Amino acid sequence: MDDLENAILISFESGPVEPSLKSQAVSYCQQAKESPDVFRICIQKLWFCKLVQVQFWCLQTLQDVLKVNYGSMSSEERGFVRSSVFSMACLEGVDGNESVVRVVEGPVFVKNKLAQVLVTLIYFEYPLVWSSVFVDFMGHLSKGGVVIDMFCRVLNGLDDELISLDYPRSPEEIAVAARVKDAMRQQCVPQIARAWYDIVLLYRNSDPDLCATVLDCMRRFVSWIDINLVANEAFVPLLFELILSEGLADQVRGAAAGCVLATVAKRMEPHSKLPLLKNLQISRVFGLVSEDVDSELVSEVSALVTGYAVEVLECHKRLNSEETKAVSMDLLNEVLPSVFYVMRNCEVDSTFSIVQFLMGYVSTLKGLPALKEKQLLHITQILEVIRIQICYDPMYRNNLDSLDKIGLEEEDRMSEFRKDLFVLLRTVGRVAPEVTQLFIRNALASAVESSSERNVEEVEAALSLLYSLGESMTEEAMKSGSGCLSELIPMLLTTKFPGHSHRLVALVYLENITRYMKFIQEHSQYIPNVLGAFLDERGLHHQNVHVSRRAYYLFMRVVKLLKSKLVPYIDKILQNLQDTLSQLTSMNFASREHSGTEDGSHIFEAIGLIIGLEDVPAEKQSDYLSLLLTPLCQQIENGLMEAKVASSENFPAKIAKIQFAIVAINALSKGFSERLVTASRPRIGHMFKQTLDMLLRLLIEFPKVEPLRSKVISLIHRMVETLGPSVLPYLPRALEQLLADSEPKEMVGFLVLLNQLICKFSTSLSCILEEVYPVVAERIYGLIPKDGKSSPSPSRSEAITEDTRELIELQRTFYTFLHVMATHDLSSVFLTPKCMPHLEEMMPLLLNTCCTHKDITVRKACVQIFIRLIEDWCPKPNTEEKLPGFQDYMINTFATNCCFFSVLDKSFDFNDANTQGLLSEIIKAQKVMYEKYGNTFLMHFMSGVFPSAHCPQDLAEQYCQKLQGNDTGGLKLCYQSLIKNLRLQPNGSHVFR
């Protein structure tokens, strides 16, 4: 053993080797690789060294040398490598020479590497240099299995490394592949096909491994060779004979099935493909799919059956003549029962999409006037496939019930997996509604009666089918209970389903009731059944907390739909909910594992929706509300006292207790209309006002507890809608407290509340705003950028901090606040003595925002503010200005910078829809200024603004005419054209003044 062989062995050693020694060995091998004669060394060792590590290294080195240095090698060197490697592959010159190593008899990884070296040579040399490689190789196949095996490895390597489109290829590789395939088609493909046939015939019984190898090789080539070389009277009978021969090894039979599948899947015109599919008489193999489902043969035959069905369906879609349609439909009808069997019982090939195929088949039935008996049977089988596919695996039953990490992952996976299957179900439901509904009815009945171990999963699947079907039903069909629905819904409501204690079954059961409420609205005799389902252990009292929490929300949705129809049942509902409400108002908030303080709020909303109806007698309504508000207010009072003395560790739990009560009151009040609490039943309004008064104390006691503050603000929002104007006396104290020491984030919530108040009460809020606005203005003008730019943010390369994001949000909300004030007749507030000093900050801010803000919608809103200010503050003729100097400011500053130079800037994109909206407002501003200021405004534009931009006189006069007319659309087009003309002129850069 020489040094190189030693170095190779050490470099391949995976056991304990000194790092320094291994490093030296790798370095020595690399030096050898860089030798100009390394290919001769490698050939020499391949002939005479029996060490497989050395053989592999030499073959890998040869491949690397060819790939990198082929262009710089002499023809003699290339010829030496070519003849040597080919001789090794074909066992040339080794007969009787015991000292020569037969590489082709080595381990698989060495043989594969030898094949790759040959493929590399073919890549560079075939057909221009080495045109006879395949023909020469076939001359040696008579030497037996070893050479045949190597020949197949070379062909397979050619497919893997060059021809197959399953891997990404470079343009150069695609061109070489085309060159190789064209040459092979002309020169040797027929001979290769004949060799495949002869070898399979010869070795089918004696060497099944070799036979399977040859068939697999053939399968790869079918896609690009002449189909008649395999789809002929010799090959097809042989392939089916192999598939159907019970005495043969499964690997041979499966490989033959793979060849037939390749033939079936070959890309062809449909008018040529259909006769081929028909002549195959594929029905001969249908019986094999029902054998051992875990066997390799059944897997291959299943892939053949489904692949065949896909091709027949494609032909049916693409062929238009009645004759071909009939032939393809007959073939489909023949193969579909086997396809359905495969889908139900076998592992489906990954390349076959069950949903895609079935969707394609169902779409062929859409245009038919009526479905035949066989097609209706197929529809039922499709529904059965869907039912089986959507069933959960029983092994995850406990995980899904407790919803642990594994259960959550499985539920997410199945949710995604089911999406397409449910789309298919709804498509089937539209094509054959009666069959679909009958199937679901039978599935439900079967699941109820079944005592199998899969009972939970089968009930859940049947209920899920019913739920999904509802998505495709019209409102009218649901109300009338068309088809089997009039039987299905009563069955749903009156049946005690097995496995109802399981989370999945309980949830989908309640979801179904909610989905089909349109039917129950029209058939009110089932209302007691609905209430029973929600109020007993199937819903709100379910043992699984995930179910009971979801039931709160779904019950609220049911109540919204039934409303007045539930009035006779109020006492029963409240009685059944008494323990639930008691639990919710006394739970330990420190140990709660589920969602936040919103837990249970939906049940209060549901109760509020029922008891807030005018159909409820006034006396009873007051009693019901008192019954609910009293413990909630008590919970707040107790929580307030406990929080005051609580340690820092216990404080969050005490606050959470208060928060929940506020959320519950908020939810409860949603059922009471403003008219009821202020006009017809003022006693109810008084109760809510007392509650609000108590809650405002929280802002005094805990002004800096943000979660509590946000809940109180939310309740004020709600009370504004519930109490209407009667809430006004409570606002000054509330707003004063909310303003105290507000952070930017808190100011956003405060401004949103003010916006709601302004929209609701308009000028009735002017006195309050006169006091509040100065504080708001002073606070906000000290925080946001004075230039109105949209980003008080760092450069793009830097991340936007949370503080910066809060300031951006505050800025946007403040502009909305100013806009709401201006557009609700409250601009006079800005001119009051307390507020007027802040105009010096407001006017430049609005102007800069109009001109430069990145958000076009914000710019548009600010222009609209100026329009309202002009309309509100413009003096009538011969009267004193409301705001001295305002007219001059609008003409000289706003009109010049916003209405002209900001539009002239090339960043003002006329092709953008939002920018066009901004332009419309700017045009409106000009019209309003002309109407209010007359020629003073017009002369400023004509003699000052336009000349400064070197505007041609004719364009200026056109603008003047349009401005004085009544055609606003025409003015906009004229102004846009004027600006575009000015942009083409060398005006220099205009700076906003």
Give the C-alpha separation, 38 to 32, whole Å: 6
Task: Go through 231-268 and write b for each residue having 16 or more CB atoms within 10 A of its CB, e for each that does not.
Answer: beeebbebbbebbeeeebbbbbbbbbbbbbbbbbbbee
Whether the Cβ atoms of residue 949 and residue 981 lie closer than 8 Å to each other: no
Give the C-alpha separation, 134 to 193, whole Å: 12
Q: Which of 9, 4, 12, 10 is nearest to 34 (CA)?
A: 4
Q: Which of 222, 211, 302 is nearest to 259 (CA)?
A: 222
Q: Which two tokens stand for residue 607?
A: 């109760």
pLDDT digits (tens, 9 = 90+) for 848-865: 999 999 999 999 999 999
The one-letter amino acid at 892:
N
Give the C-alpha separation, 230 to 51, whole Å: 41
Grade residue 180 by pLDDT with cuts at 50, 70 and 90: very high
The one-letter amino acid at 323:
E
| Mean pLDDT for the stretch of residues 483-492 | 89
| Mean pLDDT for the stretch of residues 679-696 | 94
pLDDT digits (tens, 9 = 90+) for 735-776: 998 888 777 788 999 999 999 999 999 999 999 999 999 999
Helix, coil or strand: residue 385: helix
Whether the Cβ atoms of residue 636 and residue 662 lie closer than 8 Å to each other: yes
Angle at CA of residue 585, ends 669 and 749, nearest 5° = 50
Grade residue 985 by pLDDT with cuts at 50, 70 and 90: confident
- Residue 322, C-beta contacts closer than 8 angstroms, at least 6 positions apart: none
Task: Go through 343-352 and write b for each residue having 16 or more CB atoms within 10 A of its CB, e for each that does not.
Answer: beebebbeeb
Grade residue 62 by pLDDT with cuts at 50, 70 and 90: very high
Check whether 897 has a pLDDT greater than 90: yes
Check whether 992 has a pLDDT greater than 90: no
Residue with token string 């068939």 = 215
Q: What percent of the chain has pLDDT over 70?
A: 94
Check whether 424 has a pLDDT greater than 90: yes
Q: Is the dihedral of CA 104, 109, 114, 116 positive or negative?
A: positive
The one-letter amino acid at 581:
L
Whether the Cβ atoms of residue 243 and residue 264 lie closer than 8 Å to each other: no
Helix, coil or strand: residue 787: coil
Check whether 207 has a pLDDT greater than 70: yes
Higher pLDDT, 453 or 246: 246
Query: What's the pLDDT at 348?
Result: 74
Angle at CA of residue 920, ends 918 and 926, nearest 5° = 105
Give the C-alpha separation, 519 to 708, whole Å: 42
Cβ count near 401 (within 10 Å) = 20
Query: What's the pLDDT at 799?
Result: 60
Check whether 462 has a pLDDT greater than 60: yes
Tell me 900's DSSP state: I
Q: Which of 880, 908, 874 is nearest to 990 (CA)?
A: 908
Q: How far is CA 803 from the centre of its chain?
A: 30
* Chain mean pLDDT for the chain: 91
Please provide the distance, in angstroms rounded to a whole number, between the alpha carbons at the two ends of the chain: 90
Query: What's the pLDDT at 866?
Result: 97
| Mean pLDDT for the stretch of residues 110-122 | 97
| Mean pLDDT for the stretch of residues 267-277 | 95
Query: What's the pLDDT at 628?
Result: 93
Give the C-alpha separation, 418 to 213, whole Å: 39
Higher pLDDT, 600 or 889: 889
Environment class of residue 107 by beta-carbon count within 10 Å: exposed (0-12), middle (13-18) or buried (19+)? exposed
Query: What's the pLDDT at 96?
Result: 57
Q: Which of 84-98, 309-323, 582-596, 904-918 has the lowest mean pLDDT?
A: 582-596
Grade residue 784 by pLDDT with cuts at 50, 70 and 90: confident
Q: Which two tokens stand for residue 767?
A: 């006195």
For 988, how many CA atoms within 13 A lie in the half-sphere containing its CB? Answer: 6
Environment class of residue 460 by beta-carbon count within 10 Å: exposed (0-12), middle (13-18) or buried (19+)? buried
| Mean pLDDT for the stretch of residues 183-207 | 96
Residue with token string 């053989």 = 55
Grade residue 878 by pLDDT with cuts at 50, 70 and 90: low
Q: Which of 695, 694, 704 is nearest to 743 (CA)?
A: 704
Query: What's the pLDDT at 589?
Result: 57
Give the C-alpha separation, 687 to 319, whole Å: 75
Give the C-alpha separation, 283 to 312, whole Å: 13
Give the C-alpha separation, 643 to 657, whole Å: 10
Query: What's the pLDDT at 14?
Result: 79
Give the C-alpha separation, 103 to 91, whole Å: 9
Give the C-alpha separation, 594 to 591, whole Å: 9
Q: Which of 119, 121, 91, 95 is nearest to 103 (CA)?
A: 91
Give the C-alpha separation, 156 to 166, whole Å: 13
Q: Which two tokens stand for residue 332?
A: 């489909």
How many residues in total does the chain contain? 993
Give the C-alpha separation, 856 to 912, whole Å: 10
Tell me 98's DSSP state: T
Residue with token string 């011969």 = 878
Task: Go through 63-92 and write b for each residue having 16 or more CB atoms within 10 A of its CB, e for each that does not.
Answer: bebbeeebeebeeebbeebbebbbbbbbbe
Check whether 349 has a pLDDT greater than 90: no
Backbone angles phi, psi at 629, to 5 degrees: -70, -40
Grade residue 880 by pLDDT with cuts at 50, 70 and 90: confident
Check whether 793 has a pLDDT greater than 70: no
Check whether 434 has a pLDDT greater than 70: yes
List, as one string, the DSSP characters of 504-537.
Answer: HHHHHHHHHHHHTHHHHHH-GGGHHHHHHHHHST
Check whether 166 has a pLDDT greater than 90: no
Query: What's the pLDDT at 16?
Result: 82
Q: Is the dihedral of CA 353, 259, 381, 393 positive or negative?
A: negative
pLDDT digits (tens, 9 = 90+) for 16-47: 888 899 999 999 999 999 999 999 999 999 99
Give the C-alpha separation, 481 to 488, whole Å: 9
Query: What's the pLDDT at 599?
Result: 66
Q: Which long-range contacts (CB under 8 A, 24 or more apart) does 623-629 make?
A: 624/570, 624/574, 625/668, 625/684, 625/687, 626/687, 627/574, 628/581, 628/604, 628/668, 629/665, 629/668, 629/687, 629/691
